[in-house]
């Protein structure tokens, strides 16, 4: 592992300011047009698909080679080679099955990453919306500093900031949980393939030891092959070992107890029932950049009581979380 302790590319930096993309529609969700925020993960998930195909193809080639080896061995009309090549073929084909299983397991891990990507997608409009209103306010302030529309826009900005706070919390929650989950699964799958293939390969080497490669001189006939029972026993041993295999993994525990709205479980009721609209509280939190208290306290954005802005945030936030939910599912 002669490499640096980082593999970051640190080149080809794209501007990742996501505030400039507009016109993002549900249509483009399924297409190749990705919002800035989910572009990198979108590509990574595509690459994972290529990786999966590589392993699927490797599995298929292995199976084909296994059959070919067995057929070749039979055609030699040498009993020893015929039996050993057939049994080695059985082990090779099982190596191939393990490649295929690995491909499926990576696919499961890939599906977990999609939950992050989908949340990234759904958070982008929230960031865009906030940026757009801030932009409008700045323009209007320069043009018509006394415009009555400024008050409405300021109120709208506060609502969009509250909405974005929720979205960003959802994003960090899902990102950390799913990143951990996806790669814990991928590493577990790597270990499973490895341990099972070690079983197969070790028995494979035992099989090869049944093949006497003492050279003969012309006209000599080789002693009769007498190891077919031993060879069969080795396959049985391999089968037993595979059946008895159990994963022995260091646990990767998750602290994520997320509701479907991507909020901590114990907070769900409070948030859902609150009006989520006390702008002074929101502003305060936002301005100070949030506190780092470890206690999970939903009262921050849900002080309840009167809604001072034109419409309750509820009308926006739930639709957002619903959208996220349906995409994650």
Residues 22-61 that bind a second copy (CB under 8 A): 40-41, 43-44, 47-48, 50-51, 54-55, 57-58, 61
Q: Which segment (122-130, 133-141, 221-229, 320-328) binds a second copy by CB under 8 A?
A: 221-229
283 Cβ contact list (under 8 Å, min separation 6): 158, 161
85-144 residues in contact with a second copy (CB under 8 A) are 85-90, 93-95, 97
CA dist., res. 20 & res. 131, Å (int): 8
Mask 160-179, x = binds a second copy (CB under 8 A)?
--x--xx-xx--xx-xxx-x
Exactly one of 152, 257, 315, 319 binds a second copy (CB under 8 A); which one?
A: 257
Site membership for a second copy, residue 156 (CB under 8 A): no
Contact 99, 107 (CB under 8 A): no
Contact 277, 312 (CB under 8 A): yes
Minimum distance of a second copy from residue 170's CB (angstroms): 8
Site membership for a second copy, residue 328 (CB under 8 A): no
Site membership for a second copy, residue 309 (CB under 8 A): no
Burial (CB count <10 Å: 0-12, 13-18, 19+), residue 37: buried
Nearer to a second copy by Cβ, of 136 and 237: the residue is: 237
For residue 19, the number of C-alpha atoms closer than 13 Å in the C-beta half-sphere is 9
Site membership for a second copy, residue 282 (CB under 8 A): yes
Tokens of 174: 């899902």
CA dist., res. 38 & res. 115, Å (int): 11
- Other beta carbons less than 10 A from residue 8's beta carbon: 6
Minimum distance of a second copy from residue 11's CB (angstroms): 10
Nearer to a second copy by Cβ, of 138 and 194: the residue is: 194
């Amino acid at each position: 592992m002669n490499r640096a302790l980082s593999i970051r590319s640190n080149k080809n930096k794209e501007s990742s300011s996501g505030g400039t993309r507009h016109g993002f529609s549900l249509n483009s969700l399924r297409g190749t047009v990705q919002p800035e925020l989910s572009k990198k993960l979108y590509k990574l998930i595509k690459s994972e698909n290529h990786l999966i195909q590589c392993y699927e193809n490797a599995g298929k080639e292995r199976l084909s080679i296994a059959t070919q080896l067995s057929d070749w061995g039979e055609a030699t009309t040498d009993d020893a080679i015929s039996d050993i090549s057939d049994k080695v073929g059985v082990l090779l084909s099982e190596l191939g099955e393990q490649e295929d299983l690995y491909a499926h397991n990576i696919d499961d891990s890939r599906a977990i990453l999609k939950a992050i990507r989908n949340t990234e997608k759904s958070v982008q409009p929230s960031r865009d919306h906030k940026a757009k209103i801030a932009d409008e306010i700045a323009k209007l302030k320069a043009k018509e500093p006394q415009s009555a529309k400024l008050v409405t826009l300021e109120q709208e900005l506060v609502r969009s900031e509250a909405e974005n706070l929720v979205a960003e919390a959802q994003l960090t929650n899902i990102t950390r949980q799913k990143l951990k989950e996806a790669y814990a699964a991928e590493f577990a799958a790597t270990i499973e393939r490895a341990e099972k293939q070690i079983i197969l390969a070790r028995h494979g080497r035992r099989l090869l030891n049944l093949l006497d490669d003492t050279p003969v001189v012309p006209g000599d006939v080789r002693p009769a092959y007498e190891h077919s029972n031993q060879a069969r026993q080795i396959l049985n041993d391999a089968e037993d070992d595979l059946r008895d295999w159990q994963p022995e993994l260091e646990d990767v525990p998750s602290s994520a107890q997320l509701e479907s709205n991507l909020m901590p479980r114990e907070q769900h009721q409070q948030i859902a029932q609150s009006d989520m609209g006390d702008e002074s509280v929101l502003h305060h939190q936002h301005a100070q950049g949030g506190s780092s208290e470890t206690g999970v306290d939903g009262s921050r954005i849900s002080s309840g009581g009167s809604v001072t802005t034109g419409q309750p945030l509820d009308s926006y936030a739930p639709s957002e979380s619903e959208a996220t939910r349906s995409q994650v599912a």
